[in-house]
Structure 1
Amino acid sequence: MDNSVRFFTSEAINSDVKEYRLPNEVLRTAVKALNVSSFLYINLKVINFTADSEHYAYLHFFDFEEHSKGQVRSMEITFTDTIQEIVTLKYQDVYTLVKRIPKGVNITRISITSAPGSGLPPMINAYEIYRALPQPNSPTHEGDVDAMREIKHAYNNIMRISWQGDPCMPRDYRWEGVACNYSESIPRVTSLNMSSNKMTGQIVTSFSRLTTLEALDLSNNQLTGEIPESLAELHNLKLLNLRGNNLTGSIPKALREKSTTGLILILDGNPSLCRTGSCKTMTKKFIKPLVAAVASVAVLAIIVYISLMLCKHKRIKKVLLSSKKDDHMKSKNQGFSQAEVHRITNDFETEIGEGGFGKVYLGRLEDGSQVAVKLLSKSSQQGFNEFQSEVKLLSFIYHKNLVSLVGFCDDGDMRALIYEYMAKGDLRNLLSDKNPDILKWNERLQIALDAASGLDYLHNGCKPPIIHRDLKSSNILLSENMHAKIADFGLSKAFANNTDTHITTRPAGTFGYLDPEFHRSGNLNKKSDVYSFGIILLELMTGERAITTTSDGKRHISDWVNPKLEIGDIQAIVDPRLEGKFSSASAWKFLEIAMSCITPTAIQRPDISSVVVDLKQCLAMEIPLESGESSSLISNTTLEKIYSQSGSYSPPSAR
């Protein structure tokens, strides 16, 4: 912008949370005109305003500049010569102007000038231009939209930037944690994962308005109060995970009945929740005697004492019985017989892979849905105990970025796991130079974010945390819609705490992905998975394998990247099949994340939760390159920051 000056603040941002939740980096920086008589000018000629689409302009303002009392910053905003708005800013108050640009209107510039009576020059922090794309589906079902907005309002302390607009549409930008059914013309919400979001308050009844909901995960929050009986009205509900909250009262009778007919109900980690089903009845039973004996304190004390003793006795007895019943129920609901496995695989007709358990076959259930059947071979290194451990583990894990367990077979000499089928296969094959469909840069970024989110759930969303121990690109599977999910928990272990990670049975992991510290200490922990994930990031970026056979022997991918990193030319590192179609800024950010994950010293590696945040920023930096190429070189300052992850850096000019 001409006639303007940039300015910023280093002070803490104390603005109220607004709908758009702008990053602090945006709020702390702005441009302003040189004086009241000057203006700001935004050139939009580079944007192609197609005649058949409507557009939306978002102008973000946050006035952090201190000024004298009585001074007002009021501005006139003109879109070319036709659309005009007047905006008056308040000190340290975020304001976003949203303007719809109708079809056929070509906006070439935005002018921001001082309005009459304004004593301060015009300013702006950021702007965005969006084109509204036509969607193959109608908007999400109106009832689902209303329910989701009520839920968003009830728990506004955990809402993310992605929770705006339509929950299911556009399909690739649906709300985070939300899964939808697109088989009909009107999308419906089928799954909602709000686990580990620091949610407080009671479980709102709005959840019961999502009538097609099949899975609801509210685990590991700080929810209080009783479980709403209205949740039993969700006739399609197959999973209700409420573990790790502070719920009280008794389990609604209707929900208990549903749990005996197919509903997986997970309630552990709620110490004050009465799971016997009789506590509420017992309380009512004693209300009348207590009221009748209110005049006698002694009688009251006796009754209370007796009730507590009876409740305690019955609770212990029924919890033990309930535990045995639950184990039997899970086996019954998820079990497949040998004959059923033969039938759904058509006698193991189609082999689709081979993993730690043995061969994997394509199957089809009675409802027509495809599954992957992982058959435990007799020669497998993994035995009966590990098989039982994985079944028990997977029965309690549910996340959109983890491959779901459909069922298992433990019949005679056959042991098998039945998973959801991932139509696009594994990431390693998708990155192979034999695959004609080259993954685009933004697809690679989204795959990385999906996988990181799944690993974050294992590390920080599960109590105790779960260490994968064999994370690699062939264990990242993709659905028909290119959603990435982590697979193969055959080597996973749940640890009581972050330090209880000593493995003495046998080596784990895969050569090329295994934490270097494991060879020295024999320990595997969260940071070991982070190292493996960093190698996967390098594979995504370069298209190279973790280990490549050359004329000189085996070469690790980090040994291939490091010499090119010293030069500071990103084009030499990013997969050449992309032909430069990527944003250099996001590529450098992506490389910085990967290198931080594979530092030789585990303590220097980030937690996977931080990696998720960084990858979201990386994805936000990616913009389509319609013409020209962005610079592939990076400054020595940034290069030093990235390369220092490996512990040895000197600027290229010094070499």
Structure 2
Amino acid sequence: MDSGQILLSYIKVWVILLLLSATFQNSKLAAKNTAQDKKRKLAAENSGFISIDCGAEEDYLDGDTGITYKTDKDFISTGKNKVVAPEHNLTTLYYGNMANSLRTFPEGKRNCYTLKPRQGKNQNYYVRAFFYYGNYDSKNQTQIKFDLYIGVNHWTTVVDMQWTYYEIIHYSVTDTIYVCLVNTGFGVPFINGLDLRFMNDSPYRSMNGSLIPKVLADLGGLDPTLGAMRYKDDVYDRIWRLDVNLNDSVSNSTEANIDIQGSDDPCRLPVEVLRTAVQPRNGHNSLSYSYTLRHRENFTPEFLVFFHFAEIEQIAPGERREFTITLNGLNYGPFTLEYLKPLTIGPYKLQVPEDQVRFSIDATLRSDLPPILNAFEIFKLWPLPDSPTNQTDVDAIMAIKEAYKIDRVDWQGDPCLPLTTWTGLLCNDDNPPRIISLNLSSSQLSGNIAVSLLNLTAIKSLDLSNNELTGTVLEAFAQLPHLTILDLSGNKLTGAIPHSLKEKSNSRQLQLSLDGNLDLCKMDTCEKKKRSFPVLVIAFVISVSVLLLLNIITIFWRLKIENSTNMLNWRERLQIAVDAANGLEYLHNGCRPPIVHRDLKSSNILLTENLQAKIADFGLSKAFATEGDSYVITVPAGTPGYIDPEFRASGNLNKKSDVYSFGILLCELITGQPPLIKGHQGHTHILQWVSPLVERGDIQSIIDPRLQGEFSTNCAWKALEIALSCVPLTSRQRPDMSDILGELKECLAMEMSSEMIMRGSVEMSLVLGTDMAPNLR
């Protein structure tokens, strides 16, 4: 081979190497961008963010905040959409598009938004409501006033006709949070936007009430004339005021990187806030500020105060910045700072009988430099005197409302409080209140008697008369300890009257009314008709991966294996998910009538020796009576951790109940964690465990650590996205199994493609390495 041919060979090799390198870098960049996009999407949709543009016609992505805003159609059923007058259109960096659309409530005294955050009860939530009249009704009104409630407690009175917002950090003792607008007779209530942000384990909490943000000050930053600002990297999406001035101060800033991810700062401030600060003007060594309450309270108010610092100057060797804090006459410190490291001092809790919060930050005698301050926050503690209705009663009445499709304007928010009960309800004065009477007479009810009625365990009077109810009388009514009046007259009930109800009626413990049910047998000699039930026979259907009995290993045991050689790898887990979805999709859409498994869990997914997944154990399964039925009413059953919360509350079983269980099963496959994770303080549900990790975008901590990082990040995010799409609290928000199956197949194909690319890169490297090696002589 002459020198020209050798040179040409080397050039070809280098071209191939350059192409491979460029391809690899592009794939890395694409993977990074895709992963970031998925992280943002998951963080917005699944981390506890609920963002509502009230009155908007369609969902949209807000470019300034990076947050997807939804219409309010899934959160409230009353009200009318309006837009502000064109000459009043308003756009601010923290209001966005919300200012130009609104929802008004001309009907009903109380209209409530229903928020159901994924994290559930006993958590802190940042709730914010936006208001802007904008002459939407062309009446040029100058005085509209209405009340705003959170849950059953008064939050504030809305009186400002110009753009304004109200915020509260609310500790919710219920899974559902109601935000209600109450008409006080001074104009039609309206609202432009509503935000809810999960606060995680932040220091912003008060177990005895809520916190009202009074001042959130970003110091030394942007143009104060902007008024306020929201920052994309603020995990709590706070609105920071830019127009707060400290006496005789000057601004300072840096472009240096501040590591907020690696910081243990509990308040998790955005980097833009920490990059700016104020300090005293030359010759001064003190910063001071005072905040005065606008309205006096009939109690001594309490406040929480946070001070936020980050040293943004590189201090010369031998110099120091040291300062103390004086807050309403109390001294704290001294304090020093580390370069570019965030530090939160507080919270300081104080009572303020004089209705004023005052502080000063002073350099110590040993300090060479004046004090600085990057930001501070002042919160007012707000007591919540009233307790919401007993949660079991709330779940029951909501399930009844859903089962019978009851559409009454005033059936919103809490059933018993704050002002009046729902129409047809009576509640007692217990703490919390209990529902003791329910009158649904002549309400056009149809179908069977709802099982969820049995969960009203304090009820004394139940009137379901003059409706179109069918089926049998529930014997379990006799088990309600306080029930003294039961009126089922004027319906189409059939079958025999339960013996236990007859006994209570004969002993005058129960006033039982059954007149007008022509097919109801009231005699003891009623002929006992034999009821025929369809026998559910499921054979070995190989093509759809459905199985009754097979003595082979389950997913549950394979997930518990610690031995890396026998542990399920990432691709095997995806294949199992596809197989299980295939079987479940057949039960839902291939069987006639459809079948709901009702107890889907990892120990009911069997694996053949080739790791093909089969669904087993149909002991709790239910077949619909006809192909057209969408649900059956049955006693809730299943395995804790997997059972659909909507089914548990209402007794309404449908295909989406299985979808929820499948979502939990997917989370189990992805994380290696059980549905109920045991800890020192009890059990944590897998969704509560994974949500804060999703919020941080920490996919490495989510995926089973035994996989040792051997998975495609893009594929992992997609699998997690599929799992979380299965588990909204309301069934109508969950996808069909056919859609889930399609998504999982795409995910598996993505993983297999990634493996082929990696395998091809390794093989090419080996080939190139062989070609370049010197010849042995």
State the TM bucket, normalised to the shorter chain.
Answer: 0.3 to 0.5
Considering Cα pairs closer than 8 Å and 6+ residues apart, tell me whether 1 or 2 has the greater RCO. Answer: 2
Structure with the higher helix share, 1 or 2:
1
Bigger radius of gyration among the two = 2
TM (norm. structure 1) is 0.33
TM (norm. structure 2) is 0.28
